[in-house]
Structure formats: C-alpha cells, structure tokens
Amino acid sequence: MPAVDAGNGMGGMGRLAWMNVFRFCKALRVLGHVMVLAVLALVGLSFYAVAVETLGRGIAHGAPHIMVLDLVLLVVFSTLVFMLVWSYFAAVLTEPGSVPEDWHPFADDETATRELQRWNTGGDTLYDRADPQRPRYCRKCHNWKPERAHHCSVSGRCILKMDHYCIWVVNCVGLLNYKFFLLFIAYTWAACLLAACILMPGLVEYFRGEKKSGSTLVFLSFVIDAAFVVSLLGFLGMHLKLLSVNCTSIEMYEKQRIHPWPYNKGWRSNFDEVFGPSWWQWLLPFHTEAERQRMMDTVLAAPLIERVGAVEDV
Ligand SMILES: [Zn+2]
C-alpha cells in the first residue's frame, strides 16, 4: 500500500518558501478523493469477478458439492470485503487525533509562557534533540505538542502519534485511526489472497485451452489481486514489526539511534495500546468512548512536568 509521509515541514526557508515541496502536499488532498473512488472501483471489480463471474456460476450451474463449496467461499469472501470496506471508511472518516488548543506539557500556564519565551530565543537547541520526551513546539500551529505528535503538512495541523499521511485513506494516520488502517490493510490482503485463489483455477483452464471463453475482467482482477497480495505482504509485515515495538513510521528513523526505545512495553502491551484490551474488539474497526479517552489521556499526559527543572538547567 503506497503511502505518503507528509511529516515535519521545512520551516524557516524564508525567501525560498515558494520552493518548499511540502506546500504541494496540499494537492494530495484533491488526489485523495480520487483515490477513494479508485479503492471502491477495485473492490467492485474484485467482487464482480469473484462473486458473479466465478462463484455465482458455480452456485447456479455446478454439481451439488461444487455449489456448497462455492456458497461457503462466497460467504467468507463477502465477509472479508464487508470488513475491508468498514475498516476503510473508519480510517477515512475518523479524526486521527489533534492536539487540543493551548495544550502544554508543563505544570502550569506561567511555566509554559516562560518556556515559550526561552524557546523563542533559543529555539529547539535548548533541548536535547536525541530525547524524544523533550518539550516540543510547533511553529506552524503556534502550540506546544506532546511527544510522538508531528505536524502534518497535508492536513496543516499536528497529529497525535502520527504515523503518516496516506493518500489511499485521504487522511492522516494517527493515534485514533491507526487500528482501522491496520485492519484495512490486513482485510485487503486476506480478501485479495482469497480472490486470487478462487480466480486462478478458471484462468489456468482457459490458458490450457480446456475452457473456450474467458473474461477480461476476471483476468484483470486476478492480476490486480495478485499484485496487492505481494505488495501488501511487505507493507503489512513492516507495520506489524513496528506495532510489536510500539513505534510509528515517522519514529522508525529515531528508533535506530535511541536506545532503549522508551515506548516499548513488550509486544502484548504494545498491541493492546493500539487494539485495546478486549479480544472481541480486535477485529472490529471501532473504539469505545472509554478506549478513545484512555488513548487521548495516555498521549496527553504531561511527563515533562518533572522535567522542567532539568530544562531550566540547560
Ligand atoms: Zn503543528
């Protein structure tokens, strides 16, 4: 699943601002809406090739045992497609998590104002950039941002636990929709794998000359499904690896130089942090209100309160 990382912008370019490539990220929003139609078209093509052209014919004209097998396959495939579409729109429509206005990581507003004055004179050099838990300020949003938040150049705001901006879901993938994005990828991979397996026997028969007529749409669908099976496997594997160590795509590069990685609580706790503790919710693309609140509280907690003393010593 190709994705566009539109993370930190290139602030401070002055006269060269017009050359800032991240300005063009806004154009991705327009492209994104076309991508929603493209995803729906691909899903429709696959469903038509599998359910109507292949399984539908087996159910209507096949021997009894073929009919039963095709019926079971149709139910399984339809369920995967339904979950894929549900997860997709959950990822598209869910607000990924913004930084509340006037949020700051300090004990009180006075400290926040004082730190901002220091930040305005000394900039980010005041703090150790190798420390992911350092106080961080966004010049574009004019607001402090919690650790793990990043400014998204496409949506023009800071996103909590930002992973990347994905043109396929026309949305930034962050704290509150990362689970839905992962489920979308996983259901898409499973549906494409099943579709390729269902379509392949008919195509083999056609190319062997055992079947006189073949459908172009079935062939096209098989090629696309097989391509997604291969390409999504690597992408899914990468995200499962990141999930197991509690790291985002943006943080992947930070993690290579920061040891030990401060957010890694063990694979099971890392999994629960994204998918929730209730096993029956793991496969469903939604969070309960209590779960959403817990996730927001976790990232907006202010661990830096204890660090102000250390910061003032710099
Ligand atoms: Zn920002």
- Ranges of each domain in the chain: 21-312
Tens of pLDDT, residue by residue, the chain (314 residues)? 434 434 443 344 444 444 454 555 566 666 777 899 999 999 999 999 999 999 998 888 878 888 999 999 999 999 999 999 999 999 999 999 999 988 998 888 888 888 888 888 876 677 777 777 778 889 899 999 999 999 999 889 999 999 999 989 999 999 999 999 999 999 999 999 999 999 999 999 888 888 777 789 999 999 999 999 999 999 999 999 999 999 999 999 888 888 888 899 999 999 999 999 889 899 999 999 999 999 999 888 855 544 444 333 32
**Cα 152 to middle of ligand 1, angstroms:** 7
Q: How far apart are CA 134 and CA 140, in angstroms?
A: 18
Q: How far apart are CA 94 and CA 133, in angstroms?
A: 27
Give the largest CA-CA distance in the chain. Answer: 81
Per the structure block, which two tokens stand in for 74? 């149709």
Per the structure block, which two tokens stand in for 73? 């396959």
Q: How far is CA 125 from CA 13, 90, 119, 122, in A?
A: 18, 39, 8, 6
* Measured CA angle at 176 (ends 143, 127), to 5 deg: 35
**Cα 104 to middle of ligand 1, angstroms:** 13
The string over 108-119, giving b where at least 16 C-beta atoms fall within 10 Å of a residue's C-beta and e elsewhere, is eeebbeebbebb
Helix ranges, the chain (H): 27-47, 56-61, 64-93, 109-122, 178-207, 216-244, 252-255, 267-275, 289-300, 308-312
Q: What is the DSSP letter of 139?
A: T
**Cα 138 to middle of ligand 1, angstroms:** 5
**Cα 22 to middle of ligand 1, angstroms:** 13
β partners of residue 141: none
Residues whose CB is less than 8 angstroms from the CB of residue 42 and which lie 6 or more positions away in sequence, other chains included: 224
Q: Amino acid letter at 254?
A: E
Q: How far apart are CA 23 and CA 151, in angstroms?
A: 13
Q: How far apart are CA 58 and CA 51, in angstroms?
A: 10
CB 185 within 8 A of CB 3: no
Amino acid 302: pLDDT: 54
The active-site residue out of 166, 172, 192, 247 is 166
Amino acid 313: pLDDT: 32
The secondary element (H helix, E strand) that includes residue 164 is strand 164-166
Concerning whether 166 is annotated as a catalytic residue, the answer is yes
CB 165 within 8 A of CB 4: yes
**Cα 265 to middle of ligand 1, angstroms:** 27
**Cα 150 to middle of ligand 1, angstroms:** 7
Taking a 5 Å cut-off on Cβ, the residues next to ion ligand 1 are: 138, 140-141, 151, 158
**Cα 140 to middle of ligand 1, angstroms:** 5
